[in-house]
Amino acid sequence: MHQGYGQFCPVALAAEVLAERWTLLIVRELLNGSARFNEIRRGVPRLSPTLLKQRLETLEHSGIVTRNPDGDGVPNYRLTDAGTALAPVVYTIGEWGQRWARDLKPPDLDPAALVWAIHRRLNTAAMPAGRTVIEVEFIDARPSDRRFWLVHCAGEVDVCLKHPGFETDVRLVTRIRTLVEVWRGLRSIKEELRAGSMKLSGTSTCCRAFPQWLMLSALAHIPRERGTWAH
């Protein structure tokens, strides 16, 4: 068991669990709908399986998470009432980060985590009936992280790391930072398309509609207020 702070203060008691490295990101993934171990890992890809298992066990011991098998016998992780009560806490921390946290550095630009976040924020109601395939290519990524496919059908979106075997409807080519900053609301998608830093190809209907499909981060509407103190 990890060492506590030895204080009766509720902030200290909460921090004993929530301030451990990776823990809030795991809670974020659970709040966003991830339930299986591998789903959580896709949202936090740089977290090792061993450490993820340890953090989930701590959250379970603390009454924040329950673990139950689904119909296939695979464990599902669900937030308890104590866990869902963390939603406004996580949002407020994210809001502070959007306003005041440091600027992005190259190690922060993880294309796999970005595409996984995007797949949960596609406006599927605005997408055509039937199957829609979006290919994303990052021209500055290493070969193993260069291409991803988002496949939408009947309101469900899957992320494919290999060609899904269906014809691509719209293809986006850009740099990782560009799409990250568009996703966070730091750049305008329409301006980046006009400037050519984001390029779309495919059917004309899908290319015109693509900006409306991408709903951006839930924090994208919050403006940056970072001051010179952070330099």
- Summarised one tens digit per residue, pLDDT across range 64-78 is 999 998 878 889 999
Look-up: residue for tokens 């494919």? 160
Lookup: tokens for 100 = 């005041």
Average pLDDT over residues 83-97: 97
Domain boundaries defined on the chain: 10-100, 106-213
Contact 134, 149 (CB under 8 A): yes
**Residue 4, pLDDT score:** 84
Domain 10-100: state its class: mainly alpha
Tokens of 205: 């209907």
CB 30 within 8 A of CB 79: yes
* CATH 3.30.1050.10 is the classification of domain 106-213: yes
How would you label 20-52 residue by residue, b for 16+ Cβ within 10 Å and e otherwise?
A: beebbbbbbbbbbebbebebbbbbbeebeeeeb
Whole-number pLDDT of residue 78:
97
For residue 228, the model assigns a pLDDT of 45
| Half-sphere exposure (Cβ direction) of 18: Cα atoms closer than 13 Å | 19
Q: Name the residue among 134, 122, 102, 100 with its Cα closest to residue 183.
A: 122
* Residues 178 and 144: beta-carbon distance below 8 Å: no
Q: Each residue of 140-158: pLDDT tens digit?
A: 999 999 999 999 999 999 9
Mean of the per-residue pLDDT values of the chain = 94
Helix 23-31 to helix 10-18 angle (10° resolution) is: 80
Tell me: pLDDT of 87 over 80: yes
Does the structure show a pLDDT above 60 at 1? no
192 pLDDT more than 50: yes
pLDDT at 2 over 70: no
Residue in 63, 2, 68, 3 with CA at minimum distance from that of residue 27 = 63
How many C-beta neighbours within 10 Å does residue 64 have? Answer: 23
